[in-house]
Structure 1
Amino acid sequence: MQPKHWLGSLAIATLLVVPQLVWSEPGAAFYNLEVGKDVLENVTLPTIDGGEATLLDHEMGANVFVFFRPGPEPSRRGLADMARCGEDLADYPVRWTALVSDRYPAEEVQAVVDNANFRGPVLVDQGNTLYGRYGVRLHPVVGVTDGEGRLTAYQPYTQINFCARVKAKVLHTLGEIDDEELQQRLSPRSVDPRADSAVAQRNLRMGQRFLQMGNYEQALATARRSLELDPDLAAAHGMAALSLAHQDQCDEAAAHIDRALALEPAQAEAEAAREQCGQ
C-alpha cells in the first residue's frame, strides 16, 4: 500500500479543479472494437448468484454493460452511477448488465453490487475472456449496443456527469436524440479554452509532486483532472500511465502509454511506465 501523505495531499488537492473527462478517440476503452461496426456475440455467462444470463437482450432497443472491479473506488462509484442511470431510464427499452472477472470472490462482488443497488444481471467473465476479446483498457467502462448488438458507444468513468454522458449515448442509440443534441450534451463549450489549458498545466505540476512523494493514487487523480481539461496533453497521459504502472495496473496504463507516445514520441513518463510494466 502506498503512503497516504495526508497533510501534503490535502493541501495540494484543495488547489485542483475537477471538471469532466472527455476522451473520445476510437479504441481508448475497447481496444479491439470499433464503434458503429462491430456486432457483439450474445454470449451466455454464469452470474454471481449461481445462474446464467446472456450479455445482450435483442428484444431491447439498447443494451448497456459495464466492466467493473469490486475493489477500486472509481469502479464502486461507477456501478452505483449506472444503477441510478438505469432508474432514470426505466421507462425506456434498455437492458443493464455488469461484468466482473472470475478472480474475485462472489461474496465480495455481491457486497459491492448490493451497496450500489445495481439490479441488472452481474455476469462472471471467466478467464477474462470478454476482457481480452474486447481489449478492455479502463475500469470502470461502459459499452452501449443497439438491439442487434452493434457497438454504438462507450464511456470510460468520469468523476462528474458519468451517468449523464451514458444516458445521452443510450438515448442517441434509441433514436430519442439526434447527433447535434448528443454533441451538445457531451461537449458543452468551454468559456475559455486557454484558461482550461492553464489549469491543466497547473494540475500537472501538482501531480509531479505526488509522483515524487510516491503517492501514485493522487498522482493518477491529478493526471485525470488535467485530461478532463486538455485530453491531448501528452504529459498528463504519461503521468497517468506511470501512476498506474506503479500500482501494477499495466493493462490500463497501456492505453495512456500509447496515447502519450502518439502525441509526443519519447515522452519521459510514458517511457518510464513502459519500462515499469516490462513492455
Structure 2
Amino acid sequence: MKITIILFSLFVLLNPYAHADAVSIPMGGSAPDFSLESIEGKTVSIDDFRGKVTVLIYWRPDQKRSVLALKDGMELYRSYREKGVEVVTLVADTEKKEDVLKSVKKAGVEFPVLMDTDRKVYGDYGIRVYPSTVIIDKEGKLSYDIPGHAVTYRSAVEGYVRRLLGEINDEELNGILNPHKEKKDKSALEAERRYNLALKFTESGLNDQAIDALNKSIEAKSDIAKSYILLGFLLLEDKEADAALDAFNKAIKLEPGSHDAKTGIGGALILKGDLDGAIEILNDAAKANPYPQKTYYELGMAYELKGEKDSAIKMYKKALDKIVKKKILPSSMSK
C-alpha cells in the first residue's frame, strides 16, 4: 500500500487563523476528483492515487507557517518514501510561479508541483485556512483534516499516516495526538493507586510501608493535597515534627482552606513546643469544620501542656461529643 502526500499551494488571501476544521466538506465522504498539470507540464489526477493513502496539504509561499508545513511534508516524505510515500504540491496562482519555485527550492522539495489554475480544487474541497491538511484513505474516503500549523503538526500528520498504514491502533494514535493528557492521566492514576495502598497499610498499622507508598504517590503527582496530609499525620505518629510540618504546609499551599492540614500543623507545633501557635491555628481549623473531633483533641493536648486544665477538659469534651454524635470510634479519629 502506498501513501501519497499532496501539498497544495493556494495563493488566495483567506483568514489565517485556526478553524475547527480545515475544509468545509465532511469527513467520511469521497474525496472530490481533480486532474491538474504540474509545473513540468505533466498531467496528474487524483485517480493516480487510488488504492493509496493520500495527504493533501494546502499552503501559501508567502506565509511562514505554510512553508513550515511544506518542510514537514518533505521530512515525512524522506522518512516514509521507502514505504510508498509520495508528495505532490499544488499552486493556485500561476502568476506567482517564481515565488512558488523559490519556496519549493528552499524547502528542498523532491516531488511534483501541480497548478490549480482555475482554483477548482480550492473550491471543491472548501479550504478554510492556510495551511490545511486533508488525509484520504486508500479507498478515496476523507479520513482526517488538520487546520493550520501547530507545534504538534508534524507528529499529528505522521500519526495519521501511520494509523492508515496499520502501524498503530486508535489508542496509540490518541497517545500521539494527546501526549500531555496521556501522561497526566497515567500520573494521576498512579498517584491514586499509591494513595489507596497507603490507606490500607495505615489501617493495618504498617506505617513505614504507608509512608513509602505516599512518597511514591507524591512522586507520581505532586499536586494532590490529601497525599501530603496523610503523610503528615503518619510522620506525627513517628514524632517527626519538622517533616510532618513540611508535608502539611505543602498541603496548605494546594488547599489553603484544608481543615485537616491546619489540624496537622497544630499537632506538629505541639510537638515542637509552640503551644500558642498550635492553639491559634487549631482554633482556626475548628471553624466550619464538619469533623472537628481531631482538631478539638489536639487543642485539648495543647491546653493540657500549657497547664490550662479547664480549657483542656473543655476541648476533650468537645472532641468526645463530636465522636458520639457522629458515631465515630476513637480508633477512627486519625483517619
The offset of 1:163, in angstroms, is: 1.5
- What do the CA deviations read for 1:109-129 (whole angstroms, capped 9, x no partner)? 111111111222221112211
Q: Is the 8 A contact 1:40 1:151 kept in 2?
A: yes
Q: After superposition, where does 1:96-135 map in structure 2 within 5 Å?
A: 96-135=87-126
Match of 1:53 in 2: 44
Instruction: Quote the sequence identity (%).
Output: 28
Q: Cα distance 1:192–1:182, how it changes in 2: closer, same or farther (>3 A)?
A: closer
Matched residue count: 167
| C-alpha deviation, 1:170, in angstroms | 0.9
Alignment of 1:8-87 (within 5 A): 25=20, 28-31=21-24, 33-35=25-27, 37-55=28-46, 57-58=48-49, 61-87=52-78
Report the counterpart of residue 90 of structure 1 in structure 2.
81
Aligned positions of 1:168-187 closer than 5 A: 168-187=159-178
Alpha-carbon deviation of 1:192? 7.5
Q: Which has the larger radius of gyration?
A: 2
2:145 alignment counterpart: 154
Q: Which amino acid aligns with 1:174?
A: L
1:145 deviates by 1.0
Distance 2:52 2:37 in 1: 24
Identify the range of structure 1 (53-62 vs 130-139) with the bigger mean alpha-carbon deviation: 53-62
Match of 1:90, SS?
Answer: helix
Displacement of 1:136 in angstroms is 0.4
Cα distance in structure 1, aligned partners of 2:26 and 2:150: 25
8 Å contact 1:64–1:94 — kept in the other structure? no
d(CA) in 2 for partners of 1:103, 1:137? 21
* 2:135 equivalent in structure 1: 144
If asked which structure has higher relative contact order (CA below 8 Å, sep 6+), I would say: 1
Give the alignment's TM-score, normalised by structure 2.
0.46
Query: Contact between 1:83 and 1:116, CA under 8 Å: does it hold in 2?
Result: yes
Does the CA contact (< 8 Å) of 1:44 and 1:54 recur in 2? yes
- Normalising by structure 1, we get a TM-score of 0.54
Q: Is the 8 A contact 2:53 2:135 kept in 1?
A: yes
Equivalent position to 2:156, from 157, 162, 165: 165
Give the one of 164, 175, 188 matched to 2:179.
188
Greater helix content: 2
User: CA separation in 1, counterparts of 2:176 and 2:72?
Assistant: 17
RMSD: 2.3
